[in-house]
Structure formats: structure tokens, C-alpha cells
Amino acid sequence: MFPVSVSRHVSHGLRTAFPRKLTITIPTTRLTPVSTRFISSTPSLYDSNKNPPNNSKKYPSESSSAAASVEEATEHEGRYARTDESVRVEYPPDDEMPPTPVVQGRGGRHFKRTLASYSLEDRVSVVTGGARGLGLVMGQALVASGSDLAIVDLNIQEAQEQAKNMLAQFQAENPGLDERSLPKITAHQADVGNPDSVDSSVAEILKEHGRIDHLVTSAGFTENFDAVSYPHDRMQKLWSVNVDGSYLFAVAVAKHLMARKSPGSIVFIGSMSGAIVNVPQPQAPYNAAKAAIRHLAASLAVEWASVGIRVNCISPGYMLTALTRKILDDNPDLKEKWTSLIPQGKMGTPEDLMGPVTFLLSDASKYVTGADLRVDGGYTLT
């Protein structure tokens, strides 16, 4: 559930991983080519007249670059990396490594190599519909990426149970962490289609966590009725949960972010059904609702871009959740029909959304807003 590259533990480990200063020898002669810089490095982000930041503790492999004097930027700056083989870096011996693993989990001791911009460390994320299915798995991904989590669901007992289970699983896979290093995972009840219920839930989350940085609107459901016999009250309920719920929670979180004058990111969970018509099942109102979600994300992305709030949409294809497994077990011909239309030849799993949701919430996608990321095995391309 929680990969060994848990970001909340790596920051402490890296600070203690290399206590000795690195020994670096740099020739005094100036390198003649104008576009060549000292040692292997990417372009400097700091002023060469100021003291360079000491990254040796946080990023040992980059310490030679950080400690070396940096030449004036040229017209070629940023296009190339150069290597000066005269630089010698002395790494600490094994017996001076920290006594505890830098990152703990099933994989044992290792250094995390994921880009830092993918981390959700010190963030608070909210997932609606987070007690089961896609929402539950995406919540697990956010915790594994360093975030604290507020699980919102209509069924508060189920949300509380999943919050408890998630924390226990995290502790089991990351033994030895002190309480300060554990994620804060809370459960909250909300009828996402009811404005008063949404406002109350958001207020409760803010009281528990102090702030909200990210939102995933995963609450939703589908039903299969042909259009002429679809009960109107059921259609209203479907629209209320899928569309109103996403809108109301997004607005409530956006108000909070604007009041804090803080950037944030929101991910709506749509469906490939918002872009194509599924066959053979009849579900016209659901398709229309998911198309609305996709365009709502784009519209809010434009409206809120100036205040630093990004809004994107993930549109999953056919996913093997517990519910769909049961449906397909009862209808084997339907599974064969669906699979035959997927270029990858298989249905997806909830775990296939862990990477996309982390990417779209994190700073790794800071220049991405209004996007619709389809996770469908290529279904909508055919």
C-alpha cells in the first residue's frame, strides 16, 4: 500500500546520512571554452556573488556542484552539462552511514530517487468518496507521497474504519517512526450534493488540520437505465453527487485557499464516458454528468489561474473495482466486450490512478491546469 519511497521519512534520513564534509579539489586554471562550466552541474539558480546553498546534507550526490565556485552565466547557460574529471569526491565509509534506514519499508535501506517536486510533504489533502474504491486507493497514494489526509464520505463509519486501517498499514510498513513522522489521517461525513453539509465538513477539516492544500473529488456513482425509462429522481441524484458535489467542494476549498492567499491544486475524477459513448450499456445521464465534470475543471482552471489554484481532471477508463468485478462475474460477455475495445487488451485497476493523481496534485505539474488526463488503456483513441 505504502511504497518504500515514503517521502515524509526521507527528509530526516538525508539530513543525517552524510555527516562528514566532502573533499573537493578544483584546478585553479580557468577552463578555456566559454560554454564549459566547472565540474558536472546543471545551471546555477543562485547569484555567483553570494554564498551558494549548502546542499551536501540534503543531496550528497550534488554537493560537488553546490560547493564549487560558479562562473558567470553565458548565452549557452542551461543547455548542457559538463564534466571536469579532475574533481574528486570522497564519500563516507559504510560504518559512518546512519544507524537507521534512510527510508524504511519492505525494500529495506535505500535512497529515494523520485524527483522532489512529486512530494506532498507537509501538505493536507482531502478526498471525497474516499472510504472505498478509487477514492480510497488515491488517498493511500497521497499518504505514501507525504501528505496528511482527510477522508470524506457519506458513510462516516466506513471512513473512520479506513482511516484507522490506513494509519495502521503505514506504521506496519514503516516501523520505527516516531509520532511526529506519522501522517494525520481523519474521517469526515458529508453529503457532497448538499451545500450546508459540504461547508460543515470543510470547517471540520480545517479545525482538525489547520488548512487544506489539495482536493480530489472522487464521490460519484453510475446507473444503467435506457433514457426513456430513467427515473427522474435518480437522474437528479446522480447529477447532485457527480457534478454538484465536485463543484461545491471545489468552491469551498478555493475560498479557503484564496483567504490564505495560498496556491493549491484540485483534481476532479471524471470518466472517459465524458468524451465517448460507452457500449453496450445505456447510461446517457452519467455520460452527460462526466462531460460536465471535464468542462467544469477546465472552466475553473481558467477562472482561478490568477490566484494560483490549479484544477485538472482525471478520466479513468474501465477499472476493476470490487463493484465492477461483481458485475463482470455475473456478465462474462460484457467483460469480453469491454476488453476487446481496449488497445492494451486489459482493464485498469484503481492502483493505476495513484501516479496520475499524485502528479496532478504535486508541484511536478505546476504548469498544468485545465487538463483532462485519460487513464483508459487507449480506449478513447479507437
pLDDT tens, position by position, 300-337: 999 999 999 999 999 999 999 888 888 888 888 998 99
At 23, the amino acid letter reads: T
Q: Which residues are catalytic?
A: 271, 286, 290
Residue 164 in any domain: the answer is yes
Q: Which three cell numbers stand for residue 140?
A: 493511500
Cα–Cα distance, 90 to 21 (Å, whole number): 9
Please check whether residue 30 lies inside any domain of the structure.
no
| Residue 111 within a domain | no
pLDDT tens per residue, range 161-193: 999 999 999 999 988 888 888 999 999 999 999
123 close to 129: Cβ distance less than 8 angstroms: no
C-beta separation of 314 from 268 below 8 A: yes
Domain range holding 265?
116-381
In a domain, 123, yes or no: yes
* Cα–Cα distance measured from residue 220 to residue 290, given in angstroms and rounded to the nearest whole number: 10
Q: Is there a domain that residue 126 lies in?
A: yes
Threshold 0.75, pTM exceeds: no
Per-residue confidence at 85, pLDDT binned at 50, 70, 90? low
Supply φ then ψ for residue 58, to 5 degrees. Answer: -80, -40
- Structural domain includes residue 347: yes
Instruction: State residue 178's pLDDT score.
Output: 86
Q: For residue 219, is pLDDT > 50? A: yes
Give the start-end residues of each E strand in 190-296.
Answer: 214-217, 264-269
What CATH number is attached to the domain comprising 152? 3.40.50.720
Residue 204 has what pLDDT? 98
- Total domain count, the chain: 1
User: Can you tell me whether residue 358 is helix, strand or coil?
Assistant: helix
Confidence of residue 9 (pLDDT cuts 50, 70, 90): very low
